[in-house]
Amino acid sequence: MSEKVRLTCPMGRKRAESWSGSVLVPVGACTAAAGLSGLFDLPVLPEGPLAWSAAALGAAALLAGIVLLVDGIRLRVPVLEVEDGEFRYTRGRYIVRIPSADVGSYYVLPGRTRSLGLCDVAGRPRHFPSVRGRRANRPYLPLTGLTSPAKVDAFMSTAGIPPRDRSLTSGR
């Protein structure tokens, strides 16, 4: 196969954190500025304790928005690619490269965070180093929770990798 086949997993958490952070930053900044400028001072209250609480609440919202925005930007989206006889899984700096001839079949693990398992041509699961840099090996590659198993099936069939046959009769 000489053409490139690519599947980018959708990342709902990345979008949610980025959007909520980008909303919280200006809201927090405006609330803190309004509290410090005395906009919330009421003539009934001496010293304006409402203004200071508004400034503190705005500063907390500003800080939370910055944290969410930075964390949303830092999240990496998994990408599956097959090109020139090589299967590639990329997630940030973590890259797995396997010759397509060494991939016999695949299976998708259900759950909150979907995962892709690959088997060799003999049907044994392949083991990969941990994504987070820990010493443990895992028999799967993590995808995202919004990744549809139907899209993974379509990608793998386009790449020419069959699903794992788990039947007892093996195709009869």
User: Which residue, of 34, 55, 74, is where some domain finishes?
Assistant: 74
Lowest mean pLDDT among 37-41, 146-150, 155-159: 37-41
Residue 168 to residue 112: CA distance in whole angstroms: 28
82 shares a domain with 37 = no
Q: Can you read off the two tokens belonging to residue 23?
A: 């909303």
Are 56 and 105 in the same domain? no
Q: What is the pLDDT of residue 131?
A: 63
Cα distances (Å, whole numbers) of residue 132 to 91, 92, 111, 135, 157: 10, 11, 19, 9, 29
Residue 148: other Cβ atoms inside 10 A: 13
Q: pLDDT, tens digit, for every residue of 12-56?
A: 888 899 999 999 999 999 888 887 776 665 555 445 667 778 888
pLDDT at 172 over 50: no
The domain containing residue 16 runs over which residues? 10-74
pLDDT tens-place string over residues 80-134: 998 888 899 998 888 889 988 888 899 988 777 788 899 988 888 888 877 666 6
Q: Indicate whether 149 belongs to any domain.
A: yes
DSSP-derived 3-state class of residue 104: coil
Q: Is residue 169 part of a domain?
A: no
Q: How confident is the model at residue 68 (pLDDT cuts 50, 70, 90)?
A: very high
Among 56, 65, 8, 5, residue whose Cα is nearest residue 34: 56
What is the count of structural domains for the chain? 2
The one-character DSSP state at 101 is G
> Residue 63's pLDDT is what?
95
Residue ending a domain, choose from 74, 89, 114: 74
Give rounded-to-5 percent helix, strand, coil for the chain: 40, 25, 40
Residue that finishes a domain, picked among 27, 56, 74: 74
Given pLDDT bands bounded at 50, 70 and 90, which one contains residue 67?
very high
Q: Are 139 and 128 in contact (CB under 8 A)?
A: yes
Q: What is the pTM of this model?
A: 0.70
Calpha distance 42→118 (Å, rounded): 66
Alpha-helical runs (H) found in the chain: 12-37, 49-74, 149-159
